[in-house]
Amino acid sequence: MNKYKIRFNKTRGQPGRGTIDHVWRVFENDKEYLFKNLNITVPVQSEKDANGVDYNICCRGVLEIDRETSTALIKAIQKETIEV
């Protein structure tokens, strides 16, 4: 499972920061993604970021990306069933 930090994109619409509609910054470990939509189906918590001023929403899970709708889906790992 990966750790995710989610922040509001204060710089949306600026060069290299997505369109004005890319309102979510999702950090998967240390890699950043920009999304228009967000769907989280695992427990979340808040924390202050490293500078102690801004806040993140944090969770653990796996990321699925829907590129057509620019949606990040963060969900729990699906356990495989073993047939006997």
User: Mean pLDDT by 10-residue block, N- to C-terminus, for the chain (84 residues)?
Assistant: 93 96 94 97 91 88 96 86 61
pLDDT score of 44:
96
Cα–Cα nearest to 28, from 48, 54, 64, 3? 3
For the chain, give the longest Cα–Cα distance: 55
pLDDT score of 58:
95
Cα–Cα nearest to 33, from 54, 64, 59, 55? 64
pLDDT score of 49:
79
